[in-house]
Amino acid sequence: MKTHYDYPEIIKWLEQKGKTDYGTQFHFREADQNNLSKLIAYYLKDEVVATLFDLDLSKGILLTGPIGCGKTSLMSLMKYVTHRDNRFHLKTCRDISFEFIKDGYEVIHRYSRGNNQEDRNYCFDDLGVEKNLKYFGNECNVMAEIILSRYDLFVAKKVQTHITTNLSASEIENAYGNRVRSRMRAMLNLISFDKSTPDKR
């Protein structure tokens, strides 16, 4: 089987969208093309190319790489190619941590379920920048609890979670525990930028 999509043309078109959204200096490096193609195949639900890249379309995306490699902007640009069933809301982990300080444990429920009990796909951006927080004296690893709850949603209803982070697998385990790392492995496809990827900011 052959894909119905012209990936070089889509990448060129997305780069123009990036220039509109982020400024004329925005561009994709040649070394980014492989990861770009993976993301495009995933969000277009292109089964042919996704299979070539060993992507499970029922799982979410874990996009990892060094600071400044473009993870957040790439995920933001995916809204232009996202298949209707794959649409997601992007939320920074830092903002969620501030919400927890203000609203407490209700925040964990908020990101485990959508508004009006409607299940939502989310992308949690920059996992690892938030800290363990206290609410009325009780310390909570907010993102660990949210990820565990999102795993239950994934198993029950195939609701997708996407995450960007500059943490390595061992750093994720140290920060969030083995159980969270195991759940992430089960519900996310890993797409990673090389550590040598330069800071594009």
Structural domain harbouring 131: 57-192
CATH code, domain carrying 92: 3.40.50.300
Q: Is residue 48 part of a domain?
A: no
Q: Is residue 70 part of a domain?
A: yes
Give pLDDT tens digits for 109-133: 899 865 444 568 999 999 998 765 5
Q: Is residue 34 part of a domain?
A: no
The domain tally of the chain equals 1
Residue 160 and residue 88 in contact, taking contact as beta carbons nearer than 8 Å: yes
Q: Is residue 39 part of a domain?
A: no
Q: Is residue 74 part of a domain?
A: yes
Apex 180 CA angle, 195 and 116, nearest 5:
110
Q: Is residue 120 part of a domain?
A: yes
Give the predicted TM-score (pTM) of the model. Answer: 0.90
Q: Is residue 72 part of a domain?
A: yes
Give pLDDT tens digits for 63-82: 999 888 889 999 999 999 99
Q: Is residue 28 part of a domain?
A: no
- Confidence category of residue 85, pLDDT binned at 50, 70, 90: confident
CA distance 117 to 101: 23
